[in-house]
Amino acid sequence: MIRWIRDLRASGEPIDDQEFRPVCLSLSVTNAHAYEILEPLSAEYLRWSSGGYGQRGSVSATAQALADKGQPPENQWAFLPSTDEAAGTYIAPSTVTGPFRRAQMSDLISFDEVEAAIEAGHRVILALHTSPDWYLRDTTVITRGAPVRRNHAVVAVAAGVMESGVGGLLRRGDRVLVIRNSWGSNWGQNGHAIMTEHAFVTSVHRSLLVAPF
Amino acid sequence: MASFRDRLASQASMEANRLRERIGDLEAMQVPIFNIVRSLQIWLMTQPMDWSLYGFSLIEGDVRGICINAQHPEPMQRFTCAHELGHLVLGHKTNIDHSVNVDSASGSPQELQAQSFASTFMMPVANVYRGLKVIGTSEGQLSPSDAYRLARILDVSFAALCWRLVEMEIIGRDLARRWIRSGPAAARRAIADEVVTSDLTILYGDARAHGRVGDKVVVDIQDHADSGYEWRPVGSREPSSRVRWDGSADVSSLLEAYEGSSLLSLTAAGEEDITIELVRPWEHRDAIETRSITVEVAPEHSIELLDETQRIALRQRASS
CA–CA min distance B260, chain A (Å): 8
**Touching check for B249 and chain A: CB below 8 Å?**
yes
Asked whether the predicted pLDDT for residue B222 surpasses 80, the reply is no
Q: Let me know: does B37 contact B81? Beta carbons within 8 Å.
A: yes
Contact B33, B154 (CB under 8 A): no
Q: Please name the amino acid found at residue B78.
A: R
**Separation of alpha carbons B86 and A43, rounded Å:** 70
List chain A residues with CB under 8 Å of B258: none
How are strands ordered across the β-sheet holding B200-203? B200-203, B216-219, B261-266, B243-249
Contacts of A135 in chain B (CB under 8 A): 225, 228, 230, 247-248, 281
Three-state DSSP at B280 gives coil
Domains and CATH numbers, chain B: 4-122 (1.10.10.2910), 126-191 (no CATH), 200-298 (2.60.40.2020)
Tell me the pLDDT tens digit for each residue of A164-182. Answer: 888 778 889 999 999 999 9
Q: What is the pLDDT of residues B272-286, one digit of tens each?
A: 888 888 889 888 888
Q: What is the pLDDT of residues A59-81, one digit of tens each?
A: 999 999 999 999 999 999 999 99
Long-range contact pairs involving A14-17 (C-beta distance under 8 Å, separation at least 24): A14/A185, A15/A180, A15/A181, A15/A182, A15/A184, A15/A185, A15/A187, A15/A190, A15/A191, A16/A43, A16/A79, A16/A182, A16/A184, A16/A191, A17/A81, A17/A182, A17/A183, A17/A184, A17/A185
Give me the count of residues in chain B. Answer: 320
Helix axes B74-89, B158-167, angle to 10 degrees: 50
| pLDDT over threshold 50, residue B257 | no
pLDDT averaged per 10 residues in sequence order, chain A, 213 residues: 94 90 95 96 97 91 96 96 88 94 94 96 94 88 84 95 86 95 95 94 92 96
pLDDT for B256 equals 44
Measured CA distances, B104 to B98, B107, B115, B168 (Å): 10, 5, 11, 20
Q: Residue A198, Cβ neighbours under 10 Å: how many?
A: 16
CB contact under 8 A, A148 and B280: no
Span A2-8+18-212: which CATH code? Answer: 3.90.70.10
Q: Test B227 with A184 for CB contact under 8 angstroms.
A: no
Q: Cα separation of B74 and B186, whole Å?
A: 20
Strand partners, B296: B210, B271
Q: How confident is the model at residue B271 (pLDDT cuts 50, 70, 90)?
A: confident
Q: Say yes or no: A146 contacts chain B, CB-CB below 8 A.
A: no
Is the entire prediction scored with pTM above 0.90? no
Crossing angle of the two packed helices B125-134 and B144-154, in degrees rounded to 10: 120
Residues A4, A159: Cα–Cα separation, whole Å: 6
Q: What is the rounded CA–CA span in Å between residue B84 and residue B81?
A: 5
With left for phi above 0 and alpha for psi between -120 and 50, is residue B235 left, alpha or beta? Answer: left
Q: In Å, how far is A213's CA from the nearest CA of chain B?
A: 31
Which residues of B, range 54-113, sit inside 8 Å of A by Cβ?
Answer: none
